Amino acid sequence: MIRTLPNFAPRARSAALASLMLSAAVIAAPVQAQSAPDALAVARDAALRDETAFDFVADLTSQVGPRQAATEAEARARAWAVARLNAMGFANVRVEEFQMPTWVRGEETASIISPRVQPMAVTALGNSAATPVGGMEGELVVFHDLAAFDAAPDSAIRGKIIYIGHDMERTQDGSSYGAFGVVRFTGPGRAAARGASAIVIRSVGTDNHRNPHTGNTNFPAGVTPIPAAAVSNPDADLIERMAANGDGPVRIRLNLTPRNLGQQTSGNVIAEVPGSDPSAGIVVAACHLDSWDLATGAIDDGAGCAIIAAAAQRVAAMGQPRRTIRLLLAGAEEVGVHGGRAYGVAHAHDNHAVALESDFGADRVWRVSFKLPATAAALNTRIANYLAPLGIGRSNSPAGGGADIGALAAAGVPVIDLEQDGTRYFDIHHTPDDTLDKIDPQQIAQNVAAWVVTLSLLANAPETLGPGQ
């Protein structure tokens, strides 16, 4: 049987790899029926049986747990990650600290008290103010969506507790988050600016469980924060039905005791597979290590860190790549992308060739999109061809990058998106349900396989990639 290695230097043929190729030839046959598999196809198909990523996130969620930004828990996560990445054989493993304003949750309870009593599943939004000691009560002014809120006169808002809903539905590409998440991103700030005393929103989520979805909100400069919380979708349904029934005002009781801790320390964890050609630039693979505090952050974003680490380890095992692969396990993404911004500042003068991010759960990659220089168009096709046997199609839209590589993308660094299936992501996102059992071992392994292909081709490509090259 004749084997070819079209994309790899001979050094990739280690003895271990040769034996892997022999054993994998049969396994790879269904997806490479026309010809014998090459080394990258073999590595890809071997990664479909990856257990390293699942074990990584299993250990992170059980040995560290929730990892709220700039808290003691996130510091433990950094120490855990440094030890784990060193044990996996990465080089230059280090922490790069930064300072940031820090908000932490307290107690949180809410109840409808009129026209009938119903306790609600509620959670404070990041940056929410506390309610007065002992909580607050008031009439809820109910708006089905932001447009209805915007259309209401200030006299209907001032001094009131505001409710705003939305119509978010599941989407494979996650686009409904951008469209309807604005209720959480800016709703509280807009209500505060118009004199509301507090705000309760329908959770930005697509499930029908009584799990509230937390997440950050931002108050504009000069606007004093108000208590801001999300209730579960079934509780939001009840609020809207009670308001529509017209049998008296809906009154609620709300008690939130979050605190601001001032400037605290967070940090990014960096690890590398050193390349052979420093002039070729760095391939950045990013995830975020922090999570919300309501659960163990399995899908958001323990999975992303597990995927990139497992994939980079497999690429390193194929032989030294041309480009350095740098893992960025960012701190403090959830509360304002502090880690990604700090990385962008600290490494503004690094020679970045291309950047990718995994931060959309652990379900399978279904589509790839590119934003590479026109001179690298052939590389797009090579990557897409190696991804196709994994069931991954090619998008016609340009890649956007992600939050933690946003600073790099804004600086002109090319980006690629390995887009994960987001159909059920927002059922779980930022809820107490973000736990390990939601990860399908086969789907997270498919992610690793897609990342092995993409990282390997990028790290070894002869094309010029980054803006500084």
Amino acid at 256: L
Nearer to Zn ion, 48 or 329 (CB): 329
Complete edge-to-edge strand list for the sheet that includes strand 228-231? 118-120, 108-114, 251-256, 136-143, 161-164, 198-202, 228-231, 122-124
List, in order, residues 6 or more apart from 239 with CB less than 8 Å away: 112, 140, 142, 163, 200, 231, 250
Comparison of 109 and 172: residue with beta carbon closer to Zn ion: 172
Nearer to Zn ion, 289 or 372 (CB): 289
CB of 183 to Zn ion, least distance (A): 19
- Indicate the residue among 281 and 302 with the shorter CB distance to Zn ion: 302
Compute the distance between CA of residue 460 and CA of residue 10 in angstroms, rounded to an integer. 12
Residue bearing tokens 């479909």 = 48
Q: Are 207 and 427 in contact (CB under 8 A)?
A: yes
- Helices 377-387 & 39-47 angle (0-180, nearest 10): 50
Residue 349: CB atoms within 10 A of its CB come to 7
**Interface positions with Zn ion (CB under 5 A):** 300-301, 359
Reference 58, options 435, 466, 453; nearest CA is 435
CA pair distance 447, 440, nearest whole angstrom = 11
Closest contact distance (angstroms) between CB of 368 and Zn ion is 20
Nearer to Zn ion by C-beta: 274 or 400?
A: 400
**Minimum CB distance to Zn ion smaller for 12 or for 332:** 332
Distance from C-alpha of 96 to C-alpha of 136, rounded to nearest angstrom: 42
Is residue 416 within 8 Å of residue 370, measured between CB atoms? yes
User: Which CB atom, from 96 or from 301, has the smaller least distance to Zn ion?
Assistant: 301
